[in-house]
Amino acid sequence: MLTEPLEERTHASSILARTPALLARTTYKDLRSGGLSDTDIMAFAGEILSLVAAGVRDSAAQED
Protein backbone atom coordinates (compact mmCIF):
# COMPACT_ATOMS: atom_id res chain seq x y z
CA MET A 1 0.00 0.00 0.00
CA LEU A 2 1.36 3.40 -0.96
CA THR A 3 1.32 5.89 1.86
CA GLU A 4 3.00 8.82 0.08
CA PRO A 5 0.78 11.50 -1.40
CA LEU A 6 0.19 11.10 -5.12
CA GLU A 7 1.97 14.39 -5.79
CA GLU A 8 5.19 13.13 -4.15
CA ARG A 9 5.05 9.78 -5.99
CA THR A 10 4.54 11.59 -9.30
CA HIS A 11 7.51 13.88 -8.64
CA ALA A 12 9.73 10.94 -7.68
CA SER A 13 8.67 9.05 -10.82
CA SER A 14 9.47 12.10 -12.93
CA ILE A 15 12.97 12.35 -11.46
CA LEU A 16 13.62 8.64 -11.98
CA ALA A 17 12.40 8.85 -15.57
CA ARG A 18 14.94 11.60 -16.32
CA THR A 19 17.86 9.93 -14.53
CA PRO A 20 19.08 7.67 -17.39
CA ALA A 21 19.15 10.58 -19.86
CA LEU A 22 20.95 12.81 -17.37
CA LEU A 23 23.48 10.11 -16.58
CA ALA A 24 24.08 9.44 -20.27
CA ARG A 25 24.49 13.14 -21.08
CA THR A 26 26.86 13.69 -18.17
CA THR A 27 28.92 10.61 -19.01
CA TYR A 28 29.14 11.61 -22.67
CA LYS A 29 30.31 15.13 -21.79
CA ASP A 30 32.88 13.74 -19.34
CA LEU A 31 34.23 11.27 -21.88
CA ARG A 32 34.44 13.95 -24.58
CA SER A 33 36.17 16.40 -22.24
CA GLY A 34 38.58 13.58 -21.39
CA GLY A 35 39.64 13.45 -25.02
CA LEU A 36 37.70 10.45 -26.27
CA SER A 37 36.41 10.52 -29.83
CA ASP A 38 32.89 9.56 -30.86
CA THR A 39 34.30 6.24 -32.06
CA ASP A 40 35.86 5.62 -28.63
CA ILE A 41 32.57 6.48 -26.93
CA MET A 42 30.66 4.13 -29.24
CA ALA A 43 33.07 1.34 -28.27
CA PHE A 44 32.51 2.21 -24.59
CA ALA A 45 28.74 2.13 -25.09
CA GLY A 46 29.03 -1.26 -26.77
CA GLU A 47 30.98 -2.61 -23.81
CA ILE A 48 28.37 -1.28 -21.39
CA LEU A 49 25.60 -2.97 -23.42
CA SER A 50 27.56 -6.23 -23.43
CA LEU A 51 27.87 -6.12 -19.65
CA VAL A 52 24.16 -5.40 -19.23
CA ALA A 53 23.24 -8.22 -21.63
CA ALA A 54 25.47 -10.63 -19.70
CA GLY A 55 23.84 -9.53 -16.45
CA VAL A 56 20.36 -10.08 -17.88
CA ARG A 57 21.37 -13.54 -19.15
CA ASP A 58 22.83 -14.45 -15.75
CA SER A 59 19.69 -13.26 -13.96
CA ALA A 60 17.46 -15.21 -16.32
CA ALA A 61 19.57 -18.35 -15.86
CA GLN A 62 19.34 -18.05 -12.05
CA GLU A 63 15.55 -17.79 -12.25
CA ASP A 64 15.27 -21.04 -14.21
Q: Is the pTM above the cut of 0.85?
A: no
> Does 45 map to a domain?
yes
> Does 1 map to a domain?
no
DSSP for 12-45, please give it.
HHHHHHHHHHHHHHHHHHHHHHTT--HHHHHHHH
Return the pLDDT at 8. Answer: 64
Query: In whole angstroms, what separates CA 2 from the centre of its chain?
Result: 26
Nearest to 31 by CA among 21, 44, 19: 44
Range of the domain at 10: 6-63
Mean pLDDT by 10 residues, the chain (64 residues): 62 79 94 97 97 94 84
Return the pLDDT at 13. Answer: 76
Alpha carbon dihedral 27, 37, 33, 21, in 10-degree steps, equals: -20
Number of folded domains that form the chain: 1
Return the pLDDT at 1. Answer: 45
AA letter at 51: L
